[in-house]
Structure 1
Amino acid sequence: MTQRVWTEVDDYIAGLVIGDDPALDGALEASDKAGLPQIAVSPSHGKLLHLIARIHGARKILEIGTLAGYSTIWLARALPPDGKLITLEYDARHAEVATANIAGAGLADRVEVRVGAALDTLPTIAEEAPFDLFFIDADKVNNPKYVRWAIDNSRPGSVIIVDNVVRNGLVVDATSTDPAIVGTRELGSLLANEPRVSATMVQTVGDKGYDGFALVLVES
């Protein structure tokens, strides 16, 4: 199996169960035009986030790592009309592009983009807690800190999704000094030893290569 096959299958899935979507396609086009990195979730992953949020009945969502707002749009579409999504983005240029994309998708009334380092911003939104669902797709070195905050500001039944936890298989290297690998392994240890949650990690292949995500249920 090769990257070409993975990409072809992802394209097949997207064409089969997602199809053309002007708002989402426009968000990716705007991202490319602005020169943002091409690291948004794939369409099938975005649809998965959307379905998890809908199945869970999420009314309040926190996203860490906005980029151009592609995953934000998927998640916000799952909210009821009075729902709310707060998304945190470090880069002001990324936030500007995302804000325009979110408005173009007709979701500005339920999405708030906040700019700044997430670890600085999180204490300012604690009063908004608890959140029903968290999607964390930001700097990997700080994932353990983000997840600890999410657990502390959740409720029993809250769901936490963390992207990019396999890192092309390099997560198994206990000797790695790569900060992203170290942070990811620390996250795994946290989830394994945190009594308030039940978690798993799922490997994935597709248009974005070989990686995976963590799915966490807060139990207490």
Structure 2
Amino acid sequence: MAVAIITGAGSGIGRAVAVELAGRGWDIVLAGRRAEGLEETARLAGRGLPVPTDVSDAASVAALFAAAKAEFGRIDLLFNNAGTNTPALPFETLASEALAEVIAVNLTGPLFCAREAVAAMKAQAPQGGRIINNGSVSAYGPRPHSVAYTASKHGITGLTKSLILDCRDFGISVCQVDIGNAATARTDRMSQGVPQANGTTAIEPRMDVAMLARHIVGLAELPAEVMVPFSTIMPTTMPLYGRG
């Protein structure tokens, strides 16, 4: 049975992917800061090992992977999903702590998790596995007042490209999913209207998060010799092209 680690598994996209993986027979390790959210995901999935984790802390990430290996013996998939954002305010008004937190969670965290995953996947027998990084359409079409988030997602693209190169000789495939407007609590505000690049405010469409999860799990279940380096999934009428 295949084993997956999902970060940011206590809600939203991470929860939806965990539920989809479990439904297809995967063993799942659920990582996130809130134990109660992870436990709820495990209940909804019907299985799962909750491991409260701060992805921005290297020791916490190491403990997560140690727990996964102790419980299941190997790691076949890392879904690097945990993320955060700053308030949508002018860049120069944001506190240094808020900027640092976005980079710590959105970029340093995935670096720490990928490092542990690569080490585990190289060492296990049979060797190999898959890493899926949650990117964002914001990396190439930024929203107003999203400097830190956009910069962090550019970093994820660099992480993905470098890992593809460094891991391909070890049976480890790496890909990135750039996601636009999934229907989660984080995007509820879009149904009320959000700022647009032209200075207006507009309601934006959202897509079913369960459908998104099926796309991500489909990538995870590709044959080992096949990969999709980058994919974008978004609502058809989302106003992405033309904003950046």
TM-score normalised to structure 1 length: 0.46
Larger Rg: 2
